Amino acid sequence: TQLLEQSPQFLSIQEGENLTVYCNSSSVFSSLQWYRQEPGEGPVLLVTVVTGGEVKKLKRLTFQFGDARKDSSLHITAAQPGDTGLYLCAVTSGTYKYIFGTGTRLKVLA
């Protein structure tokens, strides 16, 4: 059983479309991170959300932390081919374990 379930697993859309991906858990977390991974590279941090209900924006990307701090969403407006990649959420489980979600693989077609 995965601590962090992400959906959808795969997403293929046309350039200019909007999309939302989700990261869900039954546990409460003090913070949650979103990463993007491009082929052949390690993941790179996009954002950290800390407060329940918090919304953060990074250009066309909008991140929200659920009110109960159990889930999060990532919304991309007007997707571009450069947004293509694997999107991963991550949390600290217990005191030290740093756990990643199952990932959403996004492909944006020109």
Contacting residues toward another protein, per CB under 8 A? 2, 4, 6, 9, 30-31, 33, 35, 40-45, 48, 50, 88, 90, 92, 95-103
Q: Using the minimum distance from each CB to another protein, give the nearer residue, 6 or 84.
A: 6
The pairing of beta strand 19-24 with beta strand 32-37: unpaired
Q: Using the minimum distance from each CB to another protein, give the nearer residue, 42 or 82.
A: 42
The pairing of beta strand 19-24 with beta strand 5-7: antiparallel
For residue 7, count CB atoms less than 10 angstroms from its CB and return exposed for 0-12, middle for 13-18, buried for 19 or more. middle
CB of 79 to another protein, least distance (A): 21
